[in-house]
Amino acid sequence: MSFEVKLPLFEGPFDLLLFFIQRDELDIHDIPISKITEDFLGYIHQLERMNVEVASEFILVAATLMRIKAKMLLPRPVINELGEEIDPREELVKHLLEYKKYKSVIAELSQLESDRLDREKRGNLVKEIKQLSESSNVEAELQDLDLYKLLKVYQRVLDRYEYEKNKPVHHVVQYPYTISDQKVFILNILSTGDKLSFEDVIKTKPEKIAVVYNFLAILELLQLGMITIHLGEGFNNFWIEKLEGVAVD
């Protein structure tokens, strides 16, 4: 027996975020970034399992959500020139409010378009087209056509063809990492020893994207109270230690 899963399609990433906010009755000015990120990434993973190509703007917003989540997990807040703490969600909330405003306007314009299409079309189109053809002497324009003008048009066509042929193509690469998997990965390493330095974590998977995922996983484990960290020797190095009674899922 096979099961068919159907997912709703959204016009863009902000449309999806607004859906989650309205569905869970969340305060748009105080978004729980951890929950909204999990829901957003879950939707993208479902599309990937169904072999649906994920648009680049969805991936960009997913990366933005993860960046905001990482900033909120850091213990040191960002301060503006007035000494006030800057909320990492501020820019995202601003974009969501603007999108919500424009979306409501688009709905009204769509209704106006639908009403306009329901009206009877004008019946004198043929007469107007005939009058336009009589006022514009097409044969006279063709008489002014020469070889130079044809070559100029041909050159523009060639230039446009070369531009389209050499236009850069962007490929989106899916990395085989998730924060949940890297949390388990780090806890498994800690279960074999007393503590682990961040440099050793980097050595296991030195890829740049792997370092980012491992760092985010460490921040989540620290917030969940499953590990503790100690400052180590060396530039930007620290030691990770699993707390007592923490089990690996």
Extents of the domains making up the chain: 13-99, 179-242
Query: What pLDDT is stored for residue 70 in this prediction?
Result: 82
Query: What pLDDT is stored for residue 18 in this prediction?
Result: 84
Query: What pLDDT is stored for residue 4 in this prediction?
Result: 39
Instruction: Tell how far CA 70 is from the center of its chain.
Output: 16
CA distance 158 to 189: 59
Contact call for residues 33 and 68 (beta carbons, < 8 A): yes
- The 8-class DSSP code of residue 237 comes to -
Question: Could you read off the pLDDT tens digit of each residue along the chain, which spans 249 residues?
Answer: 333 334 455 667 888 888 888 888 888 888 888 888 888 888 888 877 766 666 778 888 888 888 888 877 776 677 777 777 777 788 888 888 888 888 778 778 888 888 877 776 666 667 777 777 666 665 555 566 677 778 888 888 888 888 888 888 777 777 788 888 888 888 888 887 778 888 888 888 888 888 888 889 888 888 888 888 887 666 667 888 888 766 655
Query: What pLDDT is stored for residue 1 in this prediction?
Result: 39
Query: What pLDDT is stored for residue 2 in this prediction?
Result: 38
CATH of domain 179-242: 1.10.10.580
pTM (predicted TM-score) = 0.40
CA distance 67 to 37: 10
Give the other-Cβ count within 10 Å of 209's Cβ: 12
Q: Tokens for 122?
A: 């004008």
Instruction: Tell how far CA 134 is from the center of its chain.
Output: 53
Query: What pLDDT is stored for residue 243 in this prediction?
Result: 81
Q: Tokens for 80?
A: 């503006």
